[in-house]
Amino acid sequence: MNYPNGQRKNISRPKDAKKNTNIFSNRGMTLEEDINETNTFYVKANKAVIYKKPTPVQIVKVNYPKRSAAVITEAYFKQASTTDYNGVYRYRYIDFEAKETKNKTLFPLANIHEHQIDHMKAVVDHGGISFIIIRFAAHDETFFLPAEKLFLHWNVKLNGGKKSIAYETIQEEGYIIPFQYKARIDYLAIIDELYF
């Protein structure tokens, strides 16, 4: 680094410090943050209009020490929420769930609720595009799994079969979403490939 006086400042690093060769490692972002940033990029670029759905909450008690400092002290979920995100892309309704797991070998179906599956089925039945984005944090990989594939695994679970989807199965049936700079989780590229 050159400073105003023209002198170069040498900054030494401990001998045991490793040089970070992977620019995307330790991003410190959650899947939700990455998707929100991606959706913001899509809106600004006029590519799609997709937002995170607000969680329906019934506020019961509010403490008003003063108007500018109101604090909600008691609230309840009004109803079970459906999926995390929805919007419109290329005249089609988009609706999806996003899940992050630390598990290295499988994705537990306990992370999905029956009412979410029912909602996703209704979206697909009405011609919308529904899917789940799954991030395996241990592998630093993010996958797009079409709802139709998820339904098959859900039905196996309901019939007493496996209660999870193996990581290898998601690699085979899903589509890896590479991390990028502007559209961090560019799931629209997968939608273009599959649906248009």
- pLDDT of amino acid 151: 98
Can you give the CATH number for the domain in which 127 is found?
3.40.1350.10
- pLDDT of amino acid 12: 40
Question: Is residue 8 in a domain?
Answer: no
Can you say whether residue 160 is alpha, beta or left, with left for phi > 0 and alpha for psi between -120 and 50 degrees? left
End-to-end CA distance of the chain: 49
Query: Which domain does 70 fall in, by range?
Result: 31-195
Model confidence, pTM: 0.77
Q: How far apart are CA 134 and CA 131, in angstroms?
A: 10
Residue from 53, 26, 32 nearest 135 by CA: 32
Question: Is residue 66 in a domain?
Answer: yes
Residue-wise pLDDT tens digits, 99-110: 999 999 999 999
Residue-wise pLDDT tens digits, 131-156: 999 999 999 999 999 999 999 999 99
Report the chain's mean pLDDT, rounded to a whole number.
85
Residue-wise pLDDT tens digits, 21-55: 333 433 445 999 999 999 999 999 999 999 998 77
Which residue ranges are tagged as binding site for Mg(2+)?
Answer: 82, 84, 97, 116
Alpha-carbon torsion angle 97, 100, 105, 110, nearest 10: -60
Question: Is residue 150 in a domain?
Answer: yes
DSSP H helical ranges for 49-166: 114-125, 147-158
Question: Is residue 65 in a domain?
Answer: yes
84-89: average pLDDT: 96
Specify the number of domains making up the chain: 1
Question: Is residue 52 in a domain?
Answer: yes
Question: Is residue 190 in a domain?
Answer: yes
Of the pLDDT bands very low, low, confident and very high (cuts 50, 70, 90), residue 73 is confident
CB neighbourhood size of 85 (10 A)? 19
Which residue ranges are tagged as binding site?
Answer: 82, 84, 97, 116
From residue 18, alpha-carbon distances to 9, 15, 27, 56 in Å are 21, 8, 17, 46
Question: Is residue 174 in a domain?
Answer: yes
- pLDDT of amino acid 4: 47
- pLDDT of amino acid 8: 43
- pLDDT of amino acid 152: 97
> Quick check: 11 pLDDT over 70?
no
